[in-house]
Chain A
């Protein structure tokens, strides 16, 4: 499709427009606080209803090699574009570390070889973008449940928050002239979805190391969720009791722009 405008820029523009509208106090009823509260409660209702049927362990459908798309569509950040990332990529990510911390008994600091030492899981699954399209690929990675088991979450831990290497947008300055760095992509899952058997930290796509545009060296796969729930370029995994003090407080970069935290529909 020779469409110059939609695809990815769409989401960012949409978010920007929403921000402009909320500042302008437009008459859109979606912006009024009681309406937002009701719409938010509906998200909880949908999550509970879907969990009633899918539970903790219903598996997302898996496909055959014949179903794999020739090129796995890349979306969102295609390259974090920072100096640190460029150096890491040039080194073949041999010095990339993923730290696991927060509410855990035993914090971890994992390199790619450490990650590959966990018994890997390979799955051919369908990636569903919130925009409406789907793409099928084969992912290999370390089950997140094993990594969490190694880190031993404390009993107060409820969410797994992923901090990523890709800045969203540009650094800027506030009214007082202070530097405001661009927020980085982040996401969160609850422990039920994080310990699902198909939730993996993927390092291979279609039998080869993850390409940069698909999140090299490590991205999350949470196969019962939409694409924005599966962050790329993962650097830190933090177990938390609640995520309200991170970013915009909604549990993820897109959630802060108005998308639902529950991404199962």
Chain B
């Protein structure tokens, strides 16, 4: 227990340093009272989801590396990919390039060509971005991706059931008209890194509601459906999927874009946590308790 406390203390110190670097005022310790913020189902499902999402990205990139190019439409126009990560040069001297639309970038060392166990290797994403890693093994990447996909989808369905049944969806997640009106103001205050305090910190603000709503209820189902659209058997069962997403190759491209949207969500999620109340926020997703600063509370 004490070692955990020490670690949290060190972490708090480090956050203080980061805040100082960013020119932010040091946080003054204030008197707080605990507020039960996250219910057990939300906390458990959150962490299962977090692990699954990370694994889905890493195994997904392992699969992507089998053909590191994206297309639009029903089939692949091999001469005109939307994006490709390839090697250029000769067998002796080659380097990695990434092409996006009409633009080509030298991305040697990261995309196209990167080190695998110290050997310069032609591969889309580098070893560190893939699971299970060094070998370019598509078969194993697929086994893991589809295994975790089942857990992710079942976990997601359990979460949907819980938030609708408990009223959490209506009370905390569905953006209200007022939320949308306040949005410009909230974007400005968030950009200034001013975060809600006191009573306001007990509920998701409009920006949070909108972000969580889109990520969970729009991007979540879409990334599952675009994934299934890549399955020839699912296309025979539900040809409408091809119509909705504009073909199998479009679905693959959208699947890829959504995966990186989730990566963007994750980065912002982490920044928001680190810059607002890192320990408090992290603890609230573990124990459920979030400390509310007393002097800011209205009654």
Contact = CB atoms under 8 A, between A and B. Distances in A.
Interface residues on B, range: 35 or more
B58 to A, nearest CB: 13
A194 to B, nearest CB: 15
A229 to B, nearest CB: 9
B270 to A, nearest CB: 26
A144 B143 CA distance: 30
Nearest to B147: A42
B248 to A, nearest CB: 5
B140 A18 contact: yes
Contact of B64 (A132, A223, A258): A132
Contact of A73 (B78, B91, B140): B78
B81 A264 contact: no
B235 interface: yes
B76 A30 contact: no
Contacts of B232: 60, 126, 128, 223-226, 264-265
B152 interface: no
B5 to A, nearest CB: 32
Contacts of B10: none
Interface stretch (B131-139, B183-191, B277-285): B131-139
Nearest to A55: B237
Interface in B60-103: 63-64, 66-69, 71, 74-76, 78-79, 81, 84, 86-88, 91, 94
Contacts of A258: 137, 139-140, 143
A61 interface: yes
Interface residues of chain B: helix, strand, loop or mixed (majority): mixed
Nearest to B135: A17
Contact of A61 (B71, B88, B150, B239): B239
Given A1-B69, A10-B136, A63-B74, A132 B233 contact: no
A33 interface: no
Given A3-B86, A61-B236, A126-B75, 19 more contacts: A1-B81, A2-B86, A3-B87, A4-B94, A6-B66, A6-B67, A11-B138, A17-B136, A18-B137, A29-B132, A30-B143, A39-B143, A39-B144, A46-B150, A126-B232, A133-B71, A258-B143, A264-B232, A265-B231
Question: What 7 A-B pairs have minimum CB-CB distances, sorted nearest first?
Answer: A264-B233, A258-B139, A265-B231, A53-B237, A54-B237, A17-B135, A131-B67
5 contacts: A1-B84, A3-B122, A131-B67, A226-B232, A264-B231
Interface of B: 63-64, 66-69, 71, 74-76, 78-79, 81, 84, 86-88, 91, 94, 122, 132-133, 135-140, 142-144, 146-147, 150, 228, 230-239, 242, 248-249, 252
